[in-house]
Structure formats: C-alpha cells, structure tokens
Amino acid sequence: MPDLIIASVMTMMTAATPLMFAATGELVCERSGVLNLGVEGMMLIGAVFGFATAAVTGNAPLGLLMAGVAGLLASLIFAALTLSLLSNQVATGLALTIFGTGLSALVGFDYVGETIERITAIHLPVLSDLPVVGRLLFGHDPLVYLSLGLLAGVTWFLSHSRWGMILRAVGDSDVSAHAIGYPVVLIRYAAVAFGGMMAGLGGGYLSLVYTPLWAENMAAGRGWIALALVVFANWRPERVLFGAILFGGITILQLNAQAAGVGIPAAFMSMLPYIATIVVLVLISRDAIKIRLNAPACLGRPFRAER
C-alpha cells in the first residue's frame, strides 16, 4: 500500500506540472491587468514546436527551450493586438486559443507518430535511494522541480521585489502607475510574454516528458483548467500550487479508483476533476467582496495613456 501511495503521488506531481507552468504564467499576466484567455492555444503551440524541435534535432532539452520561445512569440501576437491596438482582451484571447489549436495541428501533421528520447527522471546517488522520502523528494523529472522553482520565484517576486510591486500596481491601477511614471504598456508586454513562455513550457512538458508524442489537441483542455486555477487561487501563487496538485491529484485518483475496482461508475469518475474545479470555483466565488479585494482591479480593461 505505501508503495502505491508513493507511486500515486509521483504520478500526481507529473499530472499537476503542466497546470502549474501555465497557471503560474497566467497569474503573472493577470496580476498586471491583462486577461489572456489564449492559454490553451499557447500550450498547444509550445507542445508542437517543442516536439518538432526535439524530433528534428534529437535534443529534448532544446525542444523544451523552443517550446517556451514559441509560446512567448504566440503571446506577443496577443499582446500587440490588445496592448498596442487596444482590441478586446477576451475576444483576442479566445482567438489566440483557436489560432493556436489550428496552427499546432497544421505544424504537427508531419510529426504525428514520431517519437523522441524523452527527458527522464533524475537520480541523485544517495538521496534518491532513501526509503520513502528518496523518490518523493528526489525522484521526479527536472521539469517538476523547475515548475516548483518558478512558482517559488514568482511568489517571491510578487511580494518581495520592487518590480513585483510595480507589476501589481499596474494591475490594480494602471492610471496611477502611469501617473507616477512607470511604463505601463511595457510592463504588461513583459507580463504577457512571461505568461506565454510559461504556457509554452507547460505544453512542451506534455509532448516531451508526459508522453513522447505529438497528437492533435493533446492539451485536452488543460489550458482552460489552468485559467480556472488562477481564479481558484484568488490570484495568489501559493494557492496555484494547491489547485494544480488538487486537479492533477483528482485526475490520477479517479483512474486509480477505477483500477482498484471502487464501485463508482467510471463515466462519473471521468467527470470528477472538472466537477471538482467547478465546485471549488463556485465556493470561492461566494464571497464577492473577497474576490474584488484580491482580483487585480484593472483586469481586462485596456489602458489608454492620457498624456
């Protein structure tokens, strides 16, 4: 039984990692006041370009890098449209998702059925072999640690650094930040780009580590879950960690329950992760005041420089 628990936790962490990447990136983006609904599209673009690079060069880490770059470039399209041309953020974000889904299918057409050398889990000489703690702490693949590290970095950045504070100021009152003299549009560009890179990394994780395959639409809605997670987390990074592990956990748990022969109908179990997300979101949204206190006040509103 303990073996099963450890194994399940390991699998849960890998299931949570793409969500953590995407949600962390989207968190930064939203804290600066920009609502980017194109996460799913950016994840798919990251997945396909990452996989294509790895398939062509044989170098999976390079593929991962390209995944991040591809996601970043895709998000810049969104940024240009919404920040410079002042298009509606919701509509543009949705358009980015549709665009990303289609572009990735087109680019990925030639790579369906190819396989690559995936990035494998690390193995530290003594530490990984410790009885229980060994695998749980030191046996994951490098990207799990990267996602946790980035999340910790973002947490610190937002609460303890000067530029993090400026970012939050831009998200809460862009007009005031502009009056003080901060480059609002530039900061938002940077935040969107970071969000795009993270979403690309999340997608790259799916196609380079999770399964060493490309398949059309392989994100299967994880981008949308990541978006929900940011709201679920009340825009706080530490809660993103909890939410991602919860969703990843339930996904794996329902498969485990099926395999173990627990009597609940399988169709219901399949729905469970999504229902859990909805339930949590509803519970969180009960307190409208709390939401308003925590949400970036300028979320989704275009910024026009007065002077």
Partner 1 sequence: MKYLVKLVVVTFAAVLSLGAISTASADKLKVGFIYIGPPGDHGWTYAHDQGRLTVEDQLGDRVETTFVEGVPEGPDAERAIAKLAETGHKLIFTTSFGYMEPTLKVAKRFPDVKFEHATGYKQADNVATYSARFYEGRYVQGQIAAKISKSGIIGYIASFPIPEVVRGINAFMLGAQSINSDMKVKVVWAYTWFDPPKEADAAKVLMDQGADIITQHTDSTAAIQAAADRGIKAFGQASDMIHFAPKTQLTAIIDEWGPYYVARTQAVLDGTWTSGDTWHGMGPGMVVMAPFTNMPESVRQMAIETTAALTSGKLHAFTGPIYNQAGELVVEAGEVAPDFPMLATMNFYVQGVDDKLPE
- Binding site residues, partner 1, CB under 8 A: 3-4, 7-8, 11, 15, 109, 111-115, 118, 120, 206, 210-213, 215-216, 218, 220, 251-252, 255-256, 258-261, 263, 265-267, 270
Question: From the CB of residue 161, how many other CB atoms can be counted at a distance below 10 Å?
Answer: 12
Closest C-alpha to 266, from 253, 255, 280, 252: 255
11 or 128: CB nearest partner 1: 11
Smallest distance, partner 1 to C-beta of residue 33, A: 32
Alpha carbon distance, N-terminus to C-terminus of the chain: 66
Q: Which is nearer to partner 1, 267 or 282 (CB)?
A: 267
Percentages helix, strand, coil for the chain (3-state, rounded to 5) are: 75, 0, 25
Task: Give the nearest distance from C-beta 212 to partner 1 in angstroms.
Answer: 6
How far apart are CB 92 and partner 1 at their closest, in Å? 26
CB-neighbour burial class of residue 266 (10 A; exposed 0-12, middle 13-18, buried 19+): exposed
Nearer to partner 1 among residue 118 and residue 236 (C-beta):
118
Angle between helices 2-31 and 222-232 (to 10 degrees): 80
Residues 6+ apart with CB under 8 A from 289: none
Radius of gyration, alpha carbons of the chain = 20
Smallest separation, CB 273 to partner 1 (Å): 11
Q: Which is nearer to partner 1, 14 or 82 (CB)?
A: 14
Alpha carbon of 163 to those of 100, 173, 236, 285, 297: distances in Å? 30, 15, 17, 29, 18
For 112-133, give the DSSP string.
Answer: TT----PPPPP--TTGGGSTTH
State the nearest-atom distance from the C-beta of 19 to partner 1, in Å.
12
- In whole angstroms, the minimum distance from the beta carbon of 216 to partner 1 comes to 6
For partner 1, which is the closer residue by CB, 169 or 252?
252
Q: Which is nearer to partner 1, 45 or 206 (CB)?
A: 206
Between residues 116 and 169, which has the closer beta carbon with respect to partner 1? 116
Distance between CA atoms of residues 104 and 58, nearest Å: 20
Quote the CA–CA distance of 215 and 113 in Å, as a whole number.
8
Of 269, 277, 232, the closest CA to residue 253 belongs to 269
Q: How far is the CB of 214 from partner 1 (least distance, A)?
A: 9
- 7 or 186, CB closer to partner 1? 7
The least distance separating partner 1 from the CB of residue 140, rounded to whole angstroms, comes to 13
